[in-house]
Structure formats: C-alpha cells, structure tokens
Amino acid sequence: MNQSESCGKVYLVGAGPGDPGLLTLKAKVLLENADVVLYDALVSPSILTMINPRAEQIHAGKRRGRHSLVQEEITALLIEKAQTNAVVVRLKGGDPFVFGRGGEEMLDLIAAGISVEIVPGITSGIAVPAYAGIPLTHRDYSSSVTFVTGHEMAGKYRPQVNWSAIAHGAETIVVYMGVHNLPYIIGELTKAGRSPETPIALIRWGTTPQQQQLIGTFTTIMDQIEATGFEAPAIAVIGAVVDLHDLLQAGQPLLSRTIPPTPISP
C-alpha cells in the first residue's frame, strides 16, 4: 500500500469572498465532515461556524506583515494531519488557484505522496465588483478583463508584472492586494498611456455587511484614501466599467456604502 492509500485526503477549499451564501455546497459538506480545518485570515467568521464542532481548527491566516504560520509550516501541517486524519480541509478565502497559493500547496502535497483535491470557490475579483454594482464586462464599455496581483513575491522565476502590457491589453483591470502599492501601480499605468482620469474603485470587506468602497480616478484616489483612512485588504477595479456603479448600485439592495471624503471615526 502506498502512502496516499494509507493516509487521509487534503481538500484545498475555496471559501469564496465573504458572504456565506456564496460558499459552494461541496465546500459546506466538507466543512461539516472535516477532521481538521486549517483556515486563512480572510475566511468569514460565519463560514467558520459551519465547521464540524469536533474538528480540530487551526488558524493559518496570512496578511501583509502578519503571518500566523509561514507557508512551509502550513504545508508541513497539512502533511502531518493527513497522516492521521481522513478529511483535512485547507480553507482559503476566494479561490485557492487565484492568488491563493493553492498551486504551490498542491504540488508539495503530491510530492509528499498525499492525496489532494481542489474545491474551487468564487474569487473576490469577480464577486466583489458585482456586489458594488460594477460589471467587469459590458458590451458598450469593456470586452476584456485582466486579473493581477498588486503584491508580488520577491525573487520570482519570471520578471515582475508588466504593467505597460496590461495597460494596453485590457479594458478592465482587477488588482488583488494592491492598496499598499497603488501609487506605483497608478504611476506605471499612467506612464504606459492610461489617462489620469481613468476611473478606479477600491472595495474592502466585499460581499459582507461591512462592505465599503471608494470611487474616484487615478488623479483623486490617493487623496481619498488619505482623507477616509481607507485600508487594505481591498480589491481595485480600474476602467470605464466603474462609471456604471451609480446606475447599477441604485437597482440593488443596499449592500455597501461609499465612504465620503471625511475621516472615519475611530
């Protein structure tokens, strides 16, 4: 009997963008039957309540500058837990294969002889703009979308993000984890020919009752961030589709609020 047959199975599960109603049925069943769950910082608390109460729960969350566990420790834990438990769930915000390091974890688990399965989730880059009344494509506004990380790992095997190519290659740009580097990103896109008046939306805590957003342009958005105290984590949506926000948001239930240009009370 090989190791994968004698061990349990690891499920890399996408928790979606925050709204528990967007969790897939398969993910919910796995959480209810899990023996061990390693979950990330951005997983909604209401989703954590779905976990089998008898399961071991391990917070493995990662945010900029605040890591509960480093990636190598997470992988080692998954391997260890799979050796003595039948159902091990690695619960990640959004989708594991969209800037979630799911590909890295899956390769490491396969190399260790552990059986592994991916359970996709709705990525925040799609759901969050939708909840803000921003379609990523529209026949009259945008026929192409690029999803890109604004927070790259140092020393990658390939060159850094080619912002010039993105500026010319997509009408809508969705940036994950880009608030910290936003001045640089805007500078690169402007240098490549995007107008300083390009619309941009920043949305945090998307799809939850706490959802907040800033709507502006390349010229205004940094002043808006400073005036409101807006902080990461957030999704940035860049392009003409942002202008549809006011029209489409008016036709939806109040799911979020646009932050006015005044300081947020502590």
Residues taking part in catalysis: 40, 62, 177
Cα separation values, 156 from 92, 152, 174, 214, Å: 22, 8, 21, 32
In contact, 224 and 172? CB cutoff 8 Å: no
Q: Count other C-beta atoms under 10 Å from residue 138's C-beta.
A: 17
d(CA 74, CA 76): 5
Long-range contacts of 220-227 (CB under 8 A, 24+ apart): 221/182, 221/186, 222/182, 222/183, 222/186, 223/261, 224/259, 224/261, 225/179, 225/182, 227/261, 227/262, 227/263
Token duo for residue 64: 């900029």
Token duo for residue 262: 């005044």
Helix axes 102-111, 71-82, angle to 10 degrees: 50
In contact, 210 and 128? CB cutoff 8 Å: no
Q: Count other C-beta atoms under 10 Å from residue 67's C-beta.
A: 14
Q: Count other C-beta atoms under 10 Å from residue 71's C-beta.
A: 14
The residue with tokens 């997509």 is 170
DSSP 86-110: SEEEEEESB-TTTTSSHHHHHHHHH
